[in-house]
Structure 1
Amino acid sequence: MTGIESRRWFHPRGSLARPGWESVVDATVPGWAHTGLRVAELSDGDEIVCEEPGTERVVVPLSGAFAVVHTEEGRVTETHLAGRASVFDGPTDVLYLSAAAGARITGRGRVAVAESPTTDLRPTRHIPASEIPIELRGAGSSSRQVHNFGTPQALDAARLIVCEVITPAQNWSSYPPHKHDEHVPGAESRLEEIYYFESAPVAGSPASPDAAFGLFSAYASPAGDIEIDAQVRSGDIALVPYGYHGPAAAAPGYDLYYLNVMAGPDPDRSWLISDDPAHAWVRDTWERTPVDPRLPYGDTTEGPRR
């Protein structure tokens, strides 16, 4: 695969910038159709606008707090998102916006807006952090923490499936490598996937935040050729239209976070995957291995980690 083909699916921080936005993924990206993502960093007095019709959204504070003024069927509502200090401080409250709603966002910090085009209207909903399901997935060095605020079990959405994952330093996630690029009823679903990454030194480290990094890989499946083997840093984005993907590995000394945004053309909204057969056996080892004791992150009884 050529370097040009590889760069088609991996985008360093700022390379997808538009006015007011640090990064925008939408249907203007060649080969992309079902999902979108917008990321912005706001200061006091800044405002970003999401008013394109026919798009459902989930507003996710990455750091900081925000006010979202949303208009739907002539009604204007303001929702305050308490947010968090950083993506490594546990779950945040989020706001699901119906495809009939437009929104204006103000505040201070970093915010992500996950998107998917749809004409199917579902009710706007504010989900407080206390109601977000927290899953400790995997075991041992494959342990990670998943915040399932936008999965089918937690959110009534039309197409979007959204979650975020925290991988402690030295651990692997998105592992075993897996794919979701074929429609096999009950076994696998077709889903585009966006990975938005952040990385930070472990608590108490003398390292500069700019030094923090992880690794991410994606490779071909029968559905198509793709090759990503990249160092990932805060603000970087990987797009997975098809193919096996994983691991996402947190380097020693640095924790790794990613926001996943998924949607696809199948009639059912479901996340069904197929592991790479060469590595599927790894799941069987988790039954006899404990979860990494560093998890969960964001335990409020201990206060913020950063």
Structure 2
Amino acid sequence: MDDHRHLRAGTASDGPYTLDIDPKTAGWGYSALRILELRPGGSHLLSAGDSEWIVLPLSGGCTVQSDGEVIELLGRESVFAGVTDFAYVPRDAHAQIASGAGGRFALAGAKCERRLPARYGPAPEVPVEHRGTGSCARRVNNFAAAGTFDCDRLIAVEVFTPGGNWSSYPPHKHDEHRPGEETRLEEIYYFEIDGDHGFGYQRVSPSRPGGTDLLAEVRSGDAVLVPDGWHGPSIAAPGHDMYYLNVMAGPGPEREWRICFHPDHTEGYR
């Protein structure tokens, strides 16, 4: 089992982040995620470098100043409180992130080529999608899905799975470039679980000999790296709703999310 693909909460090196995943440490080329915690009155300077970033409130609100823009994010009480607004920070920029009341913020990033303008993503404009039925029902906030918000390479969505339900099902993959059928995307799953002592499970199974093979018990603040393989299901323990943030990027010529479902697990699902 590839246990090194499961990053537990608080395992970041010394610095301002409780979780810090960049392409170099992940062993891939594009996707990044940092979890930033700010005390009341705290601030942090984000240097974008060769990546584009989205500042996404997990709890609390903040002000993001970048490229001459001042973006006020109302945020939310927690990830389970509903859709949030967000800010886009372009590559080669600096962004000052400040929070009067404090909070936690996901910085989702991807190495990119184009430099797009800094801008605000309003919560009412986030498309909300309901997928699956019965024990596979879940809700997806497509705040930076391909086709919903303009980025160069970054794709990011939030998924909410009720306690006892399965999501990321049927298992699917996107580790090959097959025009019109599948796009190659590196993916990060970042988890939060509602309620004390809550947990869930994440499965990644090989799509090729020697591929990623992982079954992880995940808790709030954990992340799972998916460089390849069939990923899913993501399973929420009964009584504990599960949230995960998906961050994806890859080398394809188009920013698109095309997936292939596992042929052994689609019969009768839909």
More strand per residue: 1 or 2? 2
| Aligned equivalents of 2:174, 2:209: Cα separation in 1 | 10
Number of the residue aligned with 2:28: 32
Matches within 5 A, 1:96-111: 96-107=88-99, 108-111=102-105
- Decide whether aligned partners of structure 1 residues 256 and 130 sit closer, same or farther in structure 2, where only a CA change above 3 A counts: same
Number of the residue aligned with 2:263: 277
Number of the residue aligned with 2:132: 138
Number of the residue aligned with 2:254: 268
Aligned with residue 187 of structure 2, among 190, 193, 196: 193
Tell me the CA shift for residue 62 of structure 1. 0.3
Q: Does 1:124 align with 2:123?
A: no
The aligned amino acid for 1:228 is L
Q: Does 1:89 align with 2:75?
A: no
Matches within 5 A, 1:1-306: 1=1, 6-70=2-66, 72=67, 76-107=68-99, 108-201=102-195, 209=196, 211-222=197-208, 224-284=210-270
Tell me the CA shift for residue 18 of structure 1. 3.5
| Aligned equivalents of 1:234, 1:182: Cα separation in 2 | 30
- TM-score of the two chains, using structure 1 as the length reference: 0.85
Listed as ranges, the gaps of 5+ residues in structure 2 are: none
| Aligned equivalents of 2:178, 2:225: Cα separation in 1 | 22
Number of the residue aligned with 1:293: none
Identity %: 44
Tell me the CA shift for residue 172 of structure 1. 0.5
Deviations 1:242-261 (A, max 9, x none): 00000111100100000000
Tell me the CA shift for residue 33 of structure 1. 1.6
| Aligned equivalents of 1:32, 1:160: Cα separation in 2 | 14
The aligned amino acid for 1:256 is M
> RMSD of aligned C-alpha atoms?
1.3
| Aligned equivalents of 1:280, 1:30: Cα separation in 2 | 30
- The answer to whether the 8 Å contact 1:182/1:223 transfers is no
SS at match of 2:97: strand
- Decide whether aligned partners of structure 1 residues 223 and 32 sit closer, same or farther in structure 2, where only a CA change above 3 A counts: farther
- Decide whether aligned partners of structure 1 residues 283 and 123 sit closer, same or farther in structure 2, where only a CA change above 3 A counts: farther
SS at match of 2:241: strand
Listed as ranges, the gaps of 5+ residues in structure 1 are: 202-208, 285-306
SS at match of 1:116: strand
| Aligned equivalents of 1:45, 1:17: Cα separation in 2 | 23
- The answer to whether the 8 Å contact 2:37/2:103 transfers is yes
- The answer to whether the 8 Å contact 2:8/2:223 transfers is yes
Deviations 1:40-92 (A, max 9, x none): 2211132222113221011100011111111x2xxx22211000011011110
The aligned amino acid for 1:16 is A
- TM-score of the two chains, using structure 2 as the length reference: 0.96
Would you say how many aligned residue pairs link Structure 1 and Structure 2?
Answer: 268
- Decide whether aligned partners of structure 1 residues 227 and 10 sit closer, same or farther in structure 2, where only a CA change above 3 A counts: same
Q: Mean alpha-carbon deviation: is it higher for 248-257 or for 115-124? A: 115-124
Tell me the CA shift for residue 282 of structure 1. 4.2
The aligned amino acid for 1:8 is H
Number of the residue aligned with 1:303: none
- The answer to whether the 8 Å contact 1:56/1:118 transfers is yes
Tell me the CA shift for residue 276 of structure 1. 0.8
Tell me the CA shift for residue 130 of structure 1. 0.7
SS at match of 2:27: coil
| Aligned equivalents of 2:174, 2:136: Cα separation in 1 | 20
